[in-house]
Structure 1
């Protein structure tokens, strides 16, 4: 099914960033970079990659494992996962892999990373697709101190936790089914990329520090400034049953320059309506 899909990696300081790649026949080909959501990994895009592969397009297609996810390295014990550091990582990855004519396709957390990067570096991005996300997560400035306190406390709870095995692979699949509302067949590749065996027992690959709460969040004004700075062709894909706040008129009214499309599905609508989502991505990339 994925005969041309290759496992690759790139080094960033002391970390290895893993990714899946469909190579292009020409070095000048468009580069389409897929960035997954929180607690997912590159395998969450396999249904899209297989359909793109069938199209025999001359695209260089990359699906990343963000730091701490999938087959990528964890950060060292004393470093946590601040949102803005993901944007820095993306910048360095694109340089390392020598990406040209870059289109960013992100889901959830990946979509927020992609939008912030597109705002900061419009000269390095040819187009942006956000799936089940748009504005960076924002909250009132008067909640900043409470967030800082809760974030630090969550880190201390993590420090006092011990690594525990998953009872079985099937239990891991059921856990992710409950979290994502996806069926077993759809969620299994994501789970398999996030599991490994140590001493005959199953453990999650992802870094437990990912579950620590953020110590900082943008204000609504910050978030609006980010989105206002996006000048590249911009497509937002929302699931009919996805997060309701994403479809609130207040937010959608501020997205004057983006094309907004709803497809069947929940928060992982790209896995529930993969053909429609691929066609939408094709439309944006091939148009530009």
Structure 2
């Protein structure tokens, strides 16, 4: 539910007056929207959440609503990545490459004054968090990865086919000029719930933030260019080097019915300090099990507070 710049989780709105604020972070050539709780200038710890592909910051609103009450005195920030949610789209002719997301996150973190930063990412957001914490170990104290472990990788032998497929996907998007949208909010909600394998009641906050109504139709806010296939993917040797470079403690959360391809067992041994939790649910287990995941995140925060002398 969005009310005058304030956001409250639908599930908790009837039970309490918890409100989450909206904020905008400027980055080079764009602006990123965020859902926030707490002030980074008044707290010692910021927890920054990064959502998955074609999701948005509201993917974490059930978590934020719980964490705000269970873990007070912490700055929580869930970003809309570029092209998603309320964040700006890239200019015409530009696409959304994986490595650019890492730079986008870096620019936001440079604007957050907290001395201690924890990165939490789901799916694509977890891939970004893995790479960022490897490249900038001095900036991140902990990472929390939901249904993700390191960047996507494939054999270099697939490089030529990937390049061709990616270019052709861009061509198809450029040629598509008509967006018919949906006749109702419910139609969009039902379709998204079906495609994600998540109950409508769980995915509703994400859909509410992801849709805009124009005249008598509903349309996704997300930039259509996000659907373009990647032109390049790292080799597994690159992913190995990244995982080995992660120095901070990592918490991995996976769903029993999640995407096994995103969490390769052989990668786990590469992490210097990895704790894993397996919860009932699918790829969007953070929407299905917000209480359990909030408890896990609360544990990570409180441990960091003790180690940092903030608790």
Q: TM-score, normalised by structure 2?
A: 0.89
8 Å contact from structure 2 (residues 32, 87) kept in 1: yes
**1:193 is matched with which residue?**
209
Ranges in structure 1 where 5+ consecutive residues have no aligned partner = none
Ranges in structure 2 where 5+ consecutive residues have no aligned partner = 1-12, 305-311
C-alpha separation between the residues in 2 aligned to 1:169 and 1:4? Answer: 24
**1:5 is matched with which residue?**
20
Structure 1 vs Structure 2 CA RMSD: 1.6
Structure 1 residue 134 displacement after superposition: 0.2
1:262 aligns with 2:292: no
2:135 equivalent among 120, 126, 131: 120
Structure 1 residue 273 displacement after superposition: 1.4
**2:193 is matched with which residue?**
177
1:226 aligns with 2:203: no
Structure 1 residue 3 displacement after superposition: 3.2
> Judging changes above 3 Å, is the alpha-carbon distance between structure 1 residues 11 and 25 closer, same or farther for their aligned structure 2 residues?
closer
Q: Find the residue that maps to 1:50 and give its secondary structure.
A: helix
8 Å contact from structure 1 (residues 33, 61) kept in 2: yes
Structure 1 residue 135 displacement after superposition: 2.1
**1:51 is matched with which residue?**
66
8 Å contact from structure 1 (residues 67, 73) kept in 2: yes
Structure 1 residue 255 displacement after superposition: 3.7
**2:111 is matched with which residue?**
96
C-alpha separation between the residues in 2 aligned to 1:232 and 1:263? Answer: 23
8 Å contact from structure 1 (residues 42, 65) kept in 2: yes
1:155 equivalent among 141, 159, 170: 170
C-alpha separation between the residues in 1 aligned to 2:102 and 2:209? Answer: 23
Q: TM-score, normalised by structure 1?
A: 0.95
Superposition pairs for residues 60-139 of structure 1, below 5 Å? 60-139=75-154
**1:278 is matched with which residue?**
294
Structure 1 residue 160 displacement after superposition: 0.1
Moved more, 211-220 or 199-208: 199-208
> Judging changes above 3 Å, is the alpha-carbon distance between structure 1 residues 26 and 208 closer, same or farther for their aligned structure 2 residues?
closer
C-alpha separation between the residues in 1 aligned to 2:71 and 2:168? Answer: 50
Structure 1 residue 70 displacement after superposition: 0.4
C-alpha separation between the residues in 2 aligned to 1:151 and 1:99? Answer: 39
Say how many residue pairs are matched: 288
8 Å contact from structure 1 (residues 233, 284) kept in 2: no
Q: Find the residue that maps to 2:151 and give its secondary structure.
A: coil
